[in-house]
Structure formats: structure tokens, C-alpha cells
Chains A and B, each alone.
Chain A
């Protein structure tokens, strides 16, 4: 058989493969349509029947009451949970008091110095000013609470994560359990982790810390494993040839070379922890998140903005610090910095002994009043500009009436629920196969049984609107940046900035302009997810090899043709990853937006966290969020896999 023949047979094989798939798909789709029609004839159903609600909320509520009543007596608490709680709480308090022992000025100094060293003069000056600003706007104590909680979370994540990463690297069967678990954990909107722990521990910093650790654990584990896996084999062999023991090789050769990857993981873990610690204000974690939350409830946008800015400063400083450490050049001369560091330490210790640890009140100055004025002004002038029907208010109404509400009606009522399940299953079948289809069907039924059908469809509708808007903006911008290095360089800091901001904080500026309701949540989610859309589009298009560009050009393809016929199809898998990421980010944000009247599952979950009689419903909503997230994640991943070109043979 000649090579050409071989290629032909293979191509034919591929074709029959996909034809086969199509036939199966059509068969399945028509079966489901027929079934739905038959059902429709006998019963008249729109939404999932109420009577099928298994009522999980009641036992949860009973369990909650039982837990509250037995917190001081039952062995589960006295022997197990309370000691854990006490130990963690002690650790956080201890760290907080240590942090507070140092004089206030050591923080801006250390930050400025550290950033100067790792990032240059300009970053150093900004860092110094930023940290000082936190004190100026009178959020010093709250920042320490947040910092302490976050540091302990990161510490625990690292202490668990690195050994777990080593174990996963060493042992394939550990990896097979750990990897999908981490994937699943990272898919969930962080918010849902709060629910089970609040159930078990009640309000406070301990459940906040535990859910933060779980939410933030994944990157450090994964990158430890990746880092160890990518250590060049030849260095390991060299070490073995010198008669090093396994431990010696791990300690002296593998771990040091995996260090950059591990540090990158710690950076990501830190950022996730930061964002989670802020969200954990919902369950009484205190700190800056609490200020945002309380102010938003009191519609004190000014104070919320101040706390938001403090959070952003903290997040950015931490991010720059940890990437600076991760990418630090080991060969750099550190002498001058050591001297400066020593000098600052001496000043700090002396200051600490002299008791200079409160941020001086004389330096306080708040910009909250101005923000509140601006907000009032915006409300009076932008919400509805002079009765003209233009403004943020009419815009909200327009989007709500034209898109969100009709889509919600469509999903929850107009399309009968069996048809929705059918559609989900057919998509699963199309994207991957029968197993995914069954999984999706089961998950959707479960949502129904939880009595969360309507709320889920509400959340789904909001998510879809957010995703469409994000992609409609993000993909064209990504296309532009992929063709224009200048634009890319200009946009990068902006996108980085928005990616560093903890999701929750984004709600603050949005509600100044759009009040409460579903729209501000959707808008915040679009802002939140845009960087990912732009990034992955850009990445996908840039991966198209230059030769392919040139080949297409040599055939005389126009720019538009090239984009449509060559670049986009080649970048399709990456674009699908963009879709996946965007969906997950939007969903996470739409859920949090329950706080500002976003409705849907988020509202139910928020209520469950805040009112002890609604914990059961909140729990159900949490499970529904998890199920919805899993469905969307699996489905988009499966499509992304399908779009990848067949591997070389």
C-alpha cells in the first residue's frame, strides 16, 4: 500500500467514524423529541413537578439544629471539632497579634523595599503608597484580620499541598484520585464551599479558613506535581550515579528544580485564598470582606469602595510579591537588600518595643463621602438621563426585559423540563458519548428532585446572557490583540488588574451605577470573565504557526478569509477552553451576585448562609450550583476535546 493509499483509507475511516456519530446523534435526538411529545400529550407540564421534591432541606435543617444543640456536649465536638476549631482560631489570633506587634510603618516600608528589589523603583514607590493608603482610610485593623486569616490559610494549603503534590508525583494511583478531585474542586464557585462548613462549624473564622484551604489548595498541589515531573531526567540520573539516596535526590535535585513551578502554584493559591477570604465574610470571617459586605447592605457605597480598594491593593501587592519571589534570579547579588532589610528589621523591632503599632489617627483621611456624593450624582444623573429613556436604568430594564426574563421563561417554563433534560443529554451524547449523556441527565434530574429546577434555570439564563456578552466582547478583542502587539501590551496591565481583583469587590462599582437586581450581577460577571476570554482567544490565535499564515496568504486569501477559514478553526480548541473558563467564571460571579439581588440559586444560597432557618434550602441550592457547574464544565471540556485535531499517527 502506498503512502497515499494509506492516508486515503485513514481519511475514509475518519469520515465513516464521524458519519456513524452523526447517525447516532440524530437517532437519539429524534427519540427524545418523540418521547417528549408523547409525554406532552398525556400530561401538561412546564416546570419540574413540586411533588417530586425529595425535601432534603428538612433533614439538613434538623441536622443543623441538632448540631447547634450539641455543640458543647457531643463527642463529635468535644473530642474532634472543637479542638480543631480552637487550634485554628488560636493560630489566627496568634499570627494577628504578632503582625500587630510590629510598628505600623514597617509594613509600607517592607512592601516598598520588597517590591523595589523584585520589581523596580516604581513598583516599590507604589507599594509603599498603597499600603500606607490602607491605613489612611482607616482599614488597618480589618486588613490585619484579613491578612492573618489568609496567611494561615495559605500556610495550611502549602503544608498540605506540597506533600500531596509529591505523593501524586511519586504514585500514579494517588495521582489518579487527586487530579480529578482537584479539577472538580477548582470548578466549583468558591462560594459553595462555605455552606457545608457553616453547617458543621457555625459562623466564624474557622469554617472560613477551612473552605478557603479547600478552594485554594489545587494550584500548589498541581504545580508541585508538574514541577517534579518536568525535572530533567538526566540530572536525576547524574544524582543517582553519585550514589544519592532517593531522599537526597528529592531534596537536593528534584525539589530545587521544581521550585519555580511550586512558587507559581503558591502564587495562584495565595490569590485564590485572598478572593475566598473576602467572600468568606458571608459567614463571619471578618476583615475587609466584612466591611464591603456590611457597607453594601447599608448602601454605603463609599465605605464599600474604600474596603474594595484596600482589598485590591492587598491582592496586587501579594501577587507582585509572590511572582517576584517565584521568578527571582538566584544569581542576583542580594547584599544591598540584605543590609536594607536588616536596617528595617532593627527599626521595626525598636518601634515595636516602643509601641508604635497603631496607625496614627492623625493621618486618617477618607474618600468615602466623595464616592457617596458621586454615587448620588450618578443615581440622579446617569441612572436615567433627563427622562430621555437613556441611562443605566433603562439599559438594565432593556436587558432584563429583552433577554434575561424571556430566556428564563423559555428555559424554566416554555420548554418542558423533560425536553430540557433531553437537550442536555443530547448535547452530552454529541460532545462525548453515552456516559456523559447519562451523567448530565442524572444531574438535571437531581436538580429537579432538590426542588431547585426553577432557580437553576434562572441562574442558567443569567449565565447564558453573561457568557454571550463576554464572548461577544472578548473574542473580537482577543482577535485584535493577537494581530496587534502594541494593543496587547497596552491591554495586558488592565486585564491583569481585573484578574487580580477578588470577584466580590467588582460588585461595588457596578452597583453604584446599576443599583441592585440581576443586571449588576451580570455586568460584574462580564467584567470578571472578560480577561479570560481575551487571553485564551489571543493565545489560541497566536499558536497558529507562522507557516500556516504564510501558506494561506500565498493562496491569496484575504484577511477575513484567513481568519474565518484558517485561524479560527485552528484556534478552535483554545476558543472552547475560553468558553469553558468564561462559563465557570460567570457562573461563580452570578452566584455571588445573589447578594445584590441577583436572584436564582445564589440568592437562595446567600439566604441560607445568613439565616439559620434557611440553611437547608441554602444547602440544596449549593448542591444545585455544584451540579450545574459540573454539567457546564464537562460539556464544554468535551466539546473542546472534540475540536482538537486528531493526534498524529
Chain B
């Protein structure tokens, strides 16, 4: 076992998932490069996930982005072991799920992981507070205690006072807050999100994304986040995996994906992405490496979006100085670098 996967909180190695009878035949065809349709017509089986490996470090947000049907849900279900992978190894918090017996798996789910679902998956017969307390109830925690904890979490997600309602009496955005509170209630180390915001209106979606970012800053959990929305991926991710036809096409930081798309499939997403909004000054700057800085040069902070730094670049031939939170210069933003990224984007 290499060191990377030892320090990783989620480690996935060579995972396959084939739906249907002829698993090995389908896998053999896939290894010879056959597409999903070809395999399906030949064997009747669907190769939903093909040979996927990745590691997620503690505190990292790993986003899997792909079009509908690309196998994202199947992948995250393999990782959380809601479906059994046809082949491969999944390790969460140091326990190998693919070999664990059902008691171990159950304990791991109770202690270490939680999931937020696309269509919320709330229990319509339970009050909001009992939804949130569900994980604790399953663990056998007393009513009084679990309700207190549930109330706390409802406050955290901005739903104080809604505990006695039933989920279906809440709006979609509020329902997903319940979903989030329910997942957080068991204090998990790893959180799985399967397109949690896809069913929401754009404005509400944005609010939820912002709140998730805030929460994550506070909680520092390990997140595996599925989305079909590239902008969402850019916004939330530490690293993004682009998925197509069951396989990863490219894995990298948002900047890497934007600046060096691996192929035309990825480029199709990056082209339409609001690069100047998404990229921040720090992502394109060159490190200072002891170079001097003129006080006349314009200054921006690390987190300034590219689009706000652009006017400074256009206004002078000098580079823009990028400063950290203490206002000490850390890098330089060069007009050429920015121009090349933006022209690639328009490309």
C-alpha cells in the first residue's frame, strides 16, 4: 500500500460496476476499448463504471462532474457501498469496504460517513426533527439527547423552528437543508453528495453552494461531491474529476482543468465556463521567488477573481502584484498568462 492511499480518507482503486448478467464478458469488451452502447448491444449488460481510481485526502472536496448517465451515481454508490462494485477496492477511513462484513460496514456508516441525496430522500412520515435525528436513533441514542442534537443542527442550517413540520411542508431548498442537517447530525468524517442541489432553483442552488462552502470552512470534512454542473464543480472543488461513459477523462484542480483541458470532451465544458469569474488571482500568478516589487504596480488580493484583476492589467504594461491576507506580496500576475488562458477559454 502506498503512502498516498494511507493518508487518504477515501481511496478507490480499479473500481468497475457492470449492471446485468455477463459481467466478465462486458468487462473484457470494455478493456478492449468498446463503448458502452456496443457492449450493451452485444451482452445486454451496462458498464456503468469502468476502472476508476482516485484518492481523497482528509478535508479535501473532491468533485465528480459528468453528464447525466455517465455513471456518477453508480460510482458514488460503489464508494459508499450502496451497490457492490463488480471489481476493485474501496477504502474509507482505513477500512476496506469491499471486504468488510455487514456489521463492520454498518458501524462505519454509523460513525464515519453520511450521504446527501439528489431527491433529498427524506422520510415523509417523520417530522423534520425526527428526520435529522434518524442516524442517532439508529445508533440507539436516547430521544432527549438526539432531539437536542437535531435542534442544534437545524439551527446550523438555518431551520430553527421548523422541527415540528413534515418535510413535504417545506420548500425544496429547505428540504435539502434538512437532508444536510441529517447527514451532519452523526458527525461524519466523510460526506457523500449525489447532485444535492440539482433539483433546486438556480438562485437557491447558489445560496446552498455558498453555505456549503462556509460550512466546509468551519468543519473541514472530507467531501465527495457529484454534479453535472461544471460551474458548481469549479466553485466547490479542490479537485475535479471529469467523467464520461463510466470512466474518468481528467482529474485535476479547477485551474488545471481550465488551463489544460485533456481533450475535446473536457474542452467542451471549459469553453463555456466563466473562467474570468472562476479563476482567482492566486491560481494564475507566478510566485515571487525573491523578485522585487515596485510600489507603483497595482495590487490585488489572492482571492480576487480574474475579471476584477483584468482592468489593472489592461491599464498598464506592468504586472499586477498579488498579496496575501497580511498584505505581503506573494506573486505576480502577468498579462500574457491571463491572455492565454482566456483565449484558450474562448477558443
Q: Is residue A85 within 8 Å, beta carbon to beta carbon, of the partner chain? A: no
Q: 1/0 contact trace for B79-120 toward A, CB 8 Å?
A: 010100000000000000000000001111111011101011
Are A257 and B123 touching (Cβ within 8 A)?
yes
With a CB–CB cut-off of 8 A, which chain A residues contact B121? Answer: 232, 234-235, 237-238
Are A242 and B109 touching (Cβ within 8 A)?
yes
With both chains docked as a complex, state the minimum distance between the C-beta of B123 and any C-beta of chain A, in angstroms: 6
Are A238 and B138 touching (Cβ within 8 A)?
no
Are B115 and A241 touching (Cβ within 8 A)?
yes
With a CB–CB cut-off of 8 A, which chain B residues contact A237? Answer: 82, 115, 117, 121
**Interface locus among A65-73, A245-253, A486-494:** A245-253
With a CB–CB cut-off of 8 A, which chain A residues contact B111? Answer: 243
With a CB–CB cut-off of 8 A, which chain B residues contact A499? Answer: none
With a CB–CB cut-off of 8 A, which chain A residues contact B135? Answer: 242-243
Q: 1/0 contact trace for B131-160 toward A, CB 8 Å?
A: 000110111000000000000000000000
Q: Is residue A244 within 8 Å, beta carbon to beta carbon, of the partner chain? A: yes
Residue on B with the closest CB to A240?
A: B82
Knowing A235-B121, A238-B117, A256-B125 are in contact, say whether A243-B82 is a contact too (CB < 8 A).
no
Q: Is residue A556 within 8 Å, beta carbon to beta carbon, of the partner chain? A: no
Q: 1/0 contact trace for B181-201 toward A, CB 8 Å?
A: 010001000001000000000
With the chains together, A238 CA to B192 CA distance in Å?
A: 11
Q: Is the interface of B mostly helix, strand, loop or mixed?
A: mixed
Q: Is residue A405 within 8 Å, beta carbon to beta carbon, of the partner chain? A: no
Knowing A237-B117, A331-B169 are in contact, say whether A243-B138 is a contact too (CB < 8 A).
yes
Q: Is residue A330 within 8 Å, beta carbon to beta carbon, of the partner chain? A: yes
Q: Is residue B162 within 8 Å, beta carbon to beta carbon, of the partner chain? A: no
Are B125 and A330 touching (Cβ within 8 A)?
yes
Are A330 and B166 touching (Cβ within 8 A)?
yes
With a CB–CB cut-off of 8 A, which chain A residues contact B126? Answer: 256
Residue on A with the closest CB to B114?
A: A241
With the chains together, A450 CA to B12 CA distance in Å?
A: 71
Q: Is residue B122 within 8 Å, beta carbon to beta carbon, of the partner chain? A: yes
With a CB–CB cut-off of 8 A, which chain B residues contact A239? Answer: 123, 134, 138
With a CB–CB cut-off of 8 A, which chain A residues contact B125? Answer: 256-257, 259, 330
With the chains together, A239 CA to B117 CA distance in Å?
A: 12
Are A242 and B110 touching (Cβ within 8 A)?
yes
Q: Is residue B124 within 8 Å, beta carbon to beta carbon, of the partner chain? A: yes
Are B115 and A238 touching (Cβ within 8 A)?
yes
Interface centre among A242, A248, A253, A331 (most CB of B within 10 A): A242
Are B106 and A243 touching (Cβ within 8 A)?
yes
Q: 1/0 contact trace for A453-474 toward B, CB 8 Å?
A: 0000000000000000000000
With a CB–CB cut-off of 8 A, which chain B residues contact A240? Answer: 82, 109
With both chains docked as a complex, state the minimum distance between the C-beta of A241 and any C-beta of chain B, in angstroms: 4
Q: Interface residues of B toward A: which range? A: 20 to 34
With a CB–CB cut-off of 8 A, which chain A residues contact B113? Answer: 241
With a CB–CB cut-off of 8 A, which chain B residues contact A235? Answer: 121-124
Are A243 and B109 touching (Cβ within 8 A)?
yes
Interface centre among A237, A245, A253, A257 (most CB of B within 10 A): A237
Instruction: State which of B114, B117, B165, B169 has its C-beta within 8 Å of the C-beta of A242.
Output: B114
Within 8 A of B (CB), among A277-334: 330-331
With the chains together, A330 CA to B107 CA distance in Å?
A: 32
With the chains together, A248 CA to B102 CA distance in Å?
A: 14
With the chains together, A248 CA to B140 CA distance in Å?
A: 11
With the chains together, A256 CA to B131 CA distance in Å?
A: 13
Q: 1/0 contact trace for B164-186 toward A, CB 8 Å?
A: 01100100000000000010001
Q: Is the interface of A mostly helix, strand, loop or mixed?
A: helix
With the chains together, A235 CA to B82 CA distance in Å?
A: 12
With a CB–CB cut-off of 8 A, which chain B residues contact A252? Answer: 123, 134, 137-138
Knowing A239-B134, A242-B134 are in contact, say whether A234-B119 is a contact too (CB < 8 A).
yes
With the chains together, A242 CA to B139 CA distance in Å?
A: 9
With a CB–CB cut-off of 8 A, which chain A residues contact B124? Answer: 235, 257
Are A241 and B80 touching (Cβ within 8 A)?
yes
With the chains together, A248 CA to B80 CA distance in Å?
A: 19
Within 8 A of B (CB), among A211-248: 232, 234-235, 237-245, 248
With the chains together, A235 CA to B107 CA distance in Å?
A: 19
Interface centre among B80, B120, B123, B124 (most CB of A within 10 A): B123
With the chains together, A239 CA to B110 CA distance in Å?
A: 10
With a CB–CB cut-off of 8 A, which chain A residues contact B119? Answer: 234
Are B117 and A234 touching (Cβ within 8 A)?
yes
Q: 1/0 contact trace for B210-253 toward A, CB 8 Å?
A: 00000000000000000000000000000000000000000000
Knowing A235-B121, A238-B123 are in contact, say whether A243-B137 is a contact too (CB < 8 A).
no
With the chains together, A253 CA to B134 CA distance in Å?
A: 10
With both chains docked as a complex, state the minimum distance between the C-beta of B17 and any C-beta of chain A, in angstroms: 16
With a CB–CB cut-off of 8 A, which chain B residues contact A241? Answer: 80, 82, 109, 113-115, 192
With the chains together, A624 CA to B85 CA distance in Å?
A: 56
With both chains docked as a complex, state the minimum distance between the C-beta of B100 and any C-beta of chain A, in angstroms: 12
Residue on B with the closest CB to A236?
A: B121
Instruction: State which of A238, A243, A248 has its C-beta within 8 Å of the C-beta of B108.
Output: A243
Interface centre among A235, A245, A248 (most CB of B within 10 A): A235
Are A331 and B166 touching (Cβ within 8 A)?
yes
Residue on B with the closest CB to A256?
A: B125
With a CB–CB cut-off of 8 A, which chain B residues contact A232? Answer: 121
With the chains together, A235 CA to B182 CA distance in Å?
A: 13
With the chains together, A253 CA to B138 CA distance in Å?
A: 11
With both chains docked as a complex, state the minimum distance between the C-beta of A8 and any C-beta of chain B, in angstroms: 22
With a CB–CB cut-off of 8 A, which chain A residues contact B138? Answer: 239, 242-245, 248, 252
With a CB–CB cut-off of 8 A, which chain B residues contact A248? Answer: 138
With a CB–CB cut-off of 8 A, which chain B residues contact A253? Answer: 123
Q: 1/0 contact trace for A581-621 toward B, CB 8 Å?
A: 00000000000000000000000000000000000000000
With both chains docked as a complex, state the minimum distance between the C-beta of B308 and any C-beta of chain A, in angstroms: 41
With a CB–CB cut-off of 8 A, which chain A residues contact B105? Answer: 243
Residue on A with the closest CB to B119?
A: A234
With the chains together, A253 CA to B124 CA distance in Å?
A: 9
With a CB–CB cut-off of 8 A, which chain B residues contact A234? Answer: 117, 119-121
With the chains together, A256 CA to B124 CA distance in Å?
A: 9
Within 8 A of B (CB), among A542-576: none
Identify 23 residue pairs between A and B in the complex whose beta-carbon atoms are under 8 Å apart, listed by A's number. A234-B117, A234-B120, A235-B121, A235-B123, A235-B124, A237-B82, A237-B115, A238-B117, A238-B122, A238-B182, A240-B109, A241-B82, A241-B109, A241-B115, A242-B109, A242-B186, A243-B135, A245-B138, A252-B123, A252-B138, A253-B123, A256-B125, A331-B165
Closest 6 CB pairs of A and B: A243-B110, A243-B109, A238-B121, A234-B121, A242-B135, A256-B125
Knowing that A232-B121, A234-B119 are A-B contacts, what are 15 other residue pairs whose CB atoms are under 8 Å apart, sorted by A's residue number? Answer: A237-B115, A238-B123, A238-B134, A238-B182, A239-B134, A241-B114, A242-B110, A242-B138, A243-B109, A244-B138, A245-B106, A252-B138, A257-B123, A259-B125, A330-B125
**Chain B interface residues (CB < 8 Å from chain A):** 80, 82, 105-111, 113-115, 117, 119-126, 134-135, 137-139, 165-166, 169, 182, 186, 192
**Chain A interface residues (CB < 8 Å from chain B):** 232, 234-235, 237-245, 248, 252-253, 256-257, 259, 330-331
